[in-house]
Structure formats: structure tokens, C-alpha cells
Structure 1
Amino acid sequence: MDTVQIYKELQAWFDYDNYVDVESCTLKGLHKELQVRKNILDSIEFFGEGNDYFNQILAGNPLISKTIDLDTHLAESQTHIRQVTFGHIESLRRSLEMFSQESFVKGSNQLKKEVREKALTQSMRAVVMGTNESRVYTYFDLESSSDDEIIGSLRALLPMWRKEYGIKGRKQEAFGLGKILKLVDYRILPMIDLLLWAKLNDVSLSNTILSRVLYPKLTDEVRGDEQLKDTDRPIAERAMSGETCKNVESFINKNRHLMDVTLAMLKKL
């Protein structure tokens, strides 16, 4: 597809004016926007197609957080701690049945005593998932323990678990309010959508094209090719990978009082 054709295709769906209300999104809403786009990328990479949210974006309604209820979003989307479901347990048991029948008493579906008493994480790493599996399955009692006691136990156990399984922690970059606001100032959400469209259609978008499409008005303070190459595009690509979503989630977890504040108001802080 040549440059002229790319412009025609982009003009058929992309309009930067659809993104002008991004500053009215809350911090919680921004997290949802980033999560949605990571899921779209996964859909494109695994299935070769977008999803319903991407169809909504292409239809001119790119601010997904404006169209859904965000009350339970953060509770349901935490990256680092999630509740294990019965479906998850059933899946792990099926994996044991498939790959390690010696884990069961011969002629029955009962797990051997030594398997039942072994930590689930140890069993799954050794038998099914290999050394790349890094999830640790645990539980805590909300009623019999205070928040501080639970958090204190996690602090004590984490270094022990990391040593036991030989898993080092992910190095977290310094990430504060300034970097969050750059996502708005550098028009990262619309840039992500353009890059997702390009990936879906196997099209190469140059920084020149991105700059002209993202800054269409003569009154815009344009960020040009070099700024996109050195700063903006790498930020967008990192956001597509899911790293920025994790960082925003971590920032919100440390600053819960800000999660329902709009990006416009955060700019004034």
C-alpha cells in the first residue's frame, strides 16, 4: 500500500477530534484504555483480527472508558494478585491427569498423599508447566488476619519464595504523574490506535505520516519526525506491550485517592 492509499484508508476512520476528550478520563479510565489496547494487540497477534473494542474505535468511539461501568474495573484487572477460580483449579487437575498420571493412586482418580501435601506451585512447575511458570498459588484469611498482618506475611514470604523457585523480581521503572500526563500530551492513545490498525493491515506507518495525522491543525504545536522517533513512538510501543498499563496500575495502587480524578485536574496538581 503506497502513501497516498494509506492516507485514504486512514481518513476513512481516523479523526483526531474523537480523542479531544481524553483529558476528561479519570486515572482509572486511562488504565482501562491502556488495558483494552493491550488486549486488542493480543487478539491481532494470536487470531489475526481485532475485537469488539477495536471495532468501536474504528467506528469513531475510541474512549472505551466512557462507555462502560468502571466501578469494579480495578478489582477485576489487578496484574499482580488475583483470586483463583474453580475453573483454574479444574484446569490444573486436567493438566496433571494428562501429563502426570503417576500423581494419582493407581486405578483411581485420587491424588497420592505426597502430591496432595506438596505445594501446588511446586507440582505444576515440576510436572506440567516447566521452569518458566512463575505463578505462586496461595491463600489468606480475611477474617482472622488484619490487613497489616497479611501484608507483613507477604513481605516475609516473597524473598523466601523467590529464592526457592529461583525467580528474580521484575525491575520497575520510576513512574510518576509526569509520565502519565505525557501519555496525554504526546497523544499516545491515538498513536496506539494508528499502530494497531497498521499491524492489523500489515502496513508500515512512517513517523512522517503519524505526525501529519496526529497533528492535523495548523494551530497545533506539532511534534515532528525526530520527536516521534526518539520519544513518542517508543512510549506508544511500550504501552502496547502492557508495561505502561502495569505502571499505571501500580501508581493507582499507591495513590488510591487519585484514581477518580480526571487527567485534566491532575494536570493542575
Structure 2
Amino acid sequence: MRKTLALTEATPELSGLSQSEFLSEYLKETSLNNLSRITVDIHLEEASTEEIIEHLKVLIPRWKRQLKMKSPAPREYRFGKSTFRKIIEYRLIPMMDLIFWGEDNGIKIPLSLISSLLHEDSDNDRDEGMLKATDYPLAMAFLTDASYLKSLEDYMMENNHLKDSPVEKHVEDDRNKKK
């Protein structure tokens, strides 16, 4: 069970503490343990984006230390440009669509049929063995393992400047740099 703290009506003492300093002092003095969530109001008009980010970079580790929080487990899967390349080259999205369609209709589509449907006229011919060893497990991981989606979210946040670029173009540019 997770505990949550929300300081909605709390105001700093007249001693001149900022709200973030007040929250830090409050956490220290109350000795709350096992708290996993803090709700913080950010007054966006009072500081620039960069200032808010810098404050949070300092405050969040401090609050985690004060609350004796454990570090999150490292991601088991790292999402990157090579993953985008695999999604395109292995045609994982159409494969996931076929897997969903099969599930909805109570049909197990043989990998040999998936291979011929997805890769028959492809420059990147992928036979049933390749699908069984690599493509199908990766598609199923994307469909069933939350760490894959969390890793994708992490990648998207780290590369927010690329959000308006088509994935195919992004991967193509990466390949051209290596040649």
C-alpha cells in the first residue's frame, strides 16, 4: 500500500522559507516514512521553465533521501534508435495487428503465414525461424511487458526535440551517419 502526502492548505512560516524549502522542512520534521508520492503545486508564472527544472533537480533527490525512498529498479529494456529500426524492418506493428486479430478471432496464425504476409515482397526477407527467434518474442514483449512501453516513454522524453520527425526519417538519418 502506498502513502501519499498533499500539502494543499499549508503555507510557509513567516520566516521567509520558499514553499519548496518549507516542504523539505516539513518532511524532515514529521519523519514520514514509506511515502511514495508527493503532490506539489508549481506556480508557472513565478519562474522560468529552466528555473523550475533546476529546482526540481535539487529538491526531488533531497525529498527522496528525507523519505528514505529506495532507488527505482533499472529498466530491464532500453529503447533507442536501433529499436525503431527493428520495429520498421521486422514489421512489428503489422505483426502485432495480426496477433491481435488472431486473438480476437480465436485463431493462432502460424509464423510461416505471418512471414509470407509481412515479408514476401520485402527487401528484408525474414523466414519463420527469424520470426520465431527474434521478431515474434519482441512483438509479444511490446504487447505484454510494461517495461517496454515505459522505456519508449523515457526515450520520447529524452528526445522530445524529434517529436515532429517521422520515425522512418529519424532512423534513415541515423543510418546515413554510419555510412
Of residues 111, 121, 136, the one that matches 1:233 is 136
2:167 paired residue number:
263
Amino acid paired to 1:152: V
Which aligned pairs between 1:199-214 and structure 2 lie closer than 5 A?
Answer: 199-214=103-118
Paired positions, count: 137
1:136 alignment counterpart = 37
Alpha-carbon spacing, 1:140–1:236, altered in 2? closer, same or farther (3 Å): same
CA displacement at 1:174 relative to structure 2: 2.9
TM-score (norm. length: structure 2): 0.64
Distance 2:31 2:66 in 1: 17
Gapped regions of structure 2 (runs ≥ 5): 1-5, 7-29, 175-179
- Name the CA distance, whole Å, in 2 between partners of 1:150 and 1:237: 36
Q: Unaligned 5+ residue runs, structure 1?
A: 1-83, 85-116, 123-134
Contact 1:215 1:222 in 2 (8 A): yes
Q: State the distance in 2 between where 1:185 and 1:160 align.
A: 47
Q: Point out the structure with the larger strand share.
A: 2
- Cα distance, 1:160–1:210 mapped onto 2, change above 3 Å: farther
Post-superposition offset of 1:226: 1.4
The share of aligned pairs that are identical, in percent, is 21
Equivalent residue for 1:153, pick from 59, 79, 82: 59
Structure 2 residue 96 is the aligned partner of structure 1 residue 192:
yes
**Who is 1:34 aligned against?**
none
Residue matched to 1:57: none
The amino acid that maps onto 1:248 is L
Tell me how far 1:223 sits from its aligned partner.
0.5
Partner of 1:252: 156
TM score, norm. by length of structure 1: 0.44
Amino acid at match of 1:175: F
Q: Does the C-alpha gap of structure 1 residues 208 and 259 become closer, same or farther in structure 2, counting only changes over 3 Å?
A: same
Report deviation, 1:236: 0.6
CA distance in 1, matches of 2:133, 2:63: 41
Question: CA separation of 1:142/1:229 partners in 2, compared to 1, >3 Å: closer, same or farther?
Answer: farther
From 86, 111, 114, the counterpart of 1:182: 86
Q: Distance in 2 between matches of 1:243 and 1:185?
A: 22
Asked if 1 retains the 8 angstrom alpha-carbon contact of 2:92 and 2:139, the reply is yes
Deviations 1:160-182 (A, max 9, x none): 54x45xx6513213322111221
Cα deviations by residue, 1:59-104 (Å, 9 ceiling, x for unpaired): xxxxxxxxxxxxxxxxxxxxxxxxx9xxxxxxxxxxxxxxxxxxxx
**What is the rounded CA distance, in whole Å, between the counterparts of 1:203 and 1:142 in structure 2?**
54
